[in-house]
Amino acid sequence: MPELPDVEGFRRVAKQAAHRQVREVRVHDAQVLRGVGSEAFQRTLRRRYLAEPRRHGKWLLIGTAGAANAPASPPVVLLHFGMTGNLQWCPHDAELHDHDRVVFDFAAGELRYRDMRKLTGIHLAREQDEVDDLLAGLGPDAQQIEAAEFGERLTRTRRRLKPALMDQSVIAGLGNICVDEILWRARIHPNRSTADLTDDDLDRLYREMRAMLREAVRVGRVPDGPSWLTGHRDEPDRRCPRCSTALRRTRIGGRSTLWCPTCQPD
């Protein structure tokens, strides 16, 4: 699930905890902690205040601030949600979910990192350099990138369009669902070569990406209403919301891909 719009939704969840003091951190499954042990993670965060959460691509970054003798560069929590992760703001008496892996406890409530499959997890950066290292491989955020750079980065390498759009080092934030939606709206076949894209193709791609993200971010996920391709993904008789052609489902770049053979000619 979690692509840019979902993580943007999690960012709003995390805002509930901003400027609050961590009373304690409960680690129910240390496996999701990456590159840091339970003890160190808990010790580092206990009694610190969380900052306003930020997002880059599919990463959620939560800075911290200490009350006194704050280090010049305070620790930052970096969360990735893999395929099934999410963030919940719960009252203390809400029953613990089977997949609640880490719980941040505040006087006002709890922030819970919930994830069924533990494909990715939570990192702790002790200083800004470590944040930079973790995000070093990412391209510009899909919501921030400007048209010129979008075109330049996308066409920098010659490859199939869909895997290029999903490549986090090219642009950060788009996943399988977002990309299918963008390509369908821009009327471009997912298998087209980046090298063959016209300026007009690139212009449409950029504008449809922006429009799709704006709407999806508003609701905190890619909408699945009838006018969205996503809404028809799992229907038995999938038809294009625009032209009613039977949708095709194939595999591109190892990922399940939904597209309309009429709107998106090869």
Partner DNA sequence: ATGTCTGTTTCCTA
Partner DNA sequence: GTAGGAAACAGACA
Dig out the tokens for 140 from the structure. Answer: 């510009």
Report how far residue 66's alpha carbon sits from residue 52's, in angstroms, rounded to the nearest whole number. Answer: 14
**Residue count at the site for DNA (CB under 7 A)?**
35
Q: Is 118 a catalytic residue?
A: no
- Minimum CB separation from DNA for residue 60, in Å? 12
When asked if residue 163 is in the footprint of DNA (CB under 7 A), the reply is yes
When asked if residue 253 is in the footprint of DNA (CB under 7 A), the reply is yes
Q: Is 255 a catalytic residue?
A: yes
Q: Which one, 25 or 252, has the nearer CB to DNA? A: 252
Q: Is 241 a catalytic residue?
A: no
User: Taking the alpha carbons of 137, 142, 145, 150 in that order, is the dihedral positive or negative?
Assistant: positive
Give the list of residues 6+ apart from residue 152 with CB closer than 8 angstroms, or none. Answer: none
> Stretches 38-46, 103-111, 140-148, 174-182: which one binds DNA (CB under 7 A)?
174-182
Dig out the tokens for 47 from the structure. Answer: 């009694």
Q: Which of 209, 222, 229, 247 binds DNA (CB under 7 A)?
A: 222
Pick out residues in 18-77 that bind DNA (CB under 7 A): 31, 57-58
In three-state secondary structure terms, 109 is strand
Pick out residues in 132-161 that bind DNA (CB under 7 A): 137, 157-160
When asked if residue 98 is in the footprint of DNA (CB under 7 A), the reply is yes
Cβ-defined contacts of 219-226 (< 8 Å, 24+): 219/5, 219/9, 220/5, 220/6, 220/8, 220/9, 220/12, 221/1, 221/5, 221/6, 221/9, 222/3, 222/5, 222/6, 222/177, 222/178, 222/181
Q: Is 236 a catalytic residue?
A: no
When asked if residue 92 is in the footprint of DNA (CB under 7 A), the reply is no
Cβ distance 91 to 108 under 8 Å? no
Beta partners for residue 105, in sequence order: 24, 110
Give the list of residues 6+ apart from residue 179 with CB closer than 8 angstroms, or none. Answer: 162, 165, 166, 190
Report how far residue 248's alpha carbon sits from residue 242's, in angstroms, rounded to the nearest whole number. Answer: 14
Cβ distance 249 to 257 under 8 Å? yes
Q: Which of 3, 100, 105, 110 binds DNA (CB under 7 A)?
A: 3
Cβ distance 137 to 169 under 8 Å? yes
Q: Which one, 55 or 233, has the nearer CB to DNA? A: 233
When asked if residue 119 is in the footprint of DNA (CB under 7 A), the reply is yes
Q: Which one, 103 or 229, has the nearer CB to DNA? A: 229
Q: Which of 16, 155, 176, 264 binds DNA (CB under 7 A)?
A: 176
Annotated catalytic residue: which of 160, 242, 255, 261? 255
- Minimum CB separation from DNA for residue 43, in Å? 25
> Stretches 35-43, 69-77, 162-170, 237-245: which one binds DNA (CB under 7 A)?
162-170
What residues line the site for DNA (CB under 7 A)? 1-3, 31, 57-58, 80, 82-83, 98-99, 116-120, 137, 157-160, 163, 166, 168, 175-177, 222, 224, 230, 233, 253-256
Q: Which residues are catalytic?
A: 2-3, 58, 255
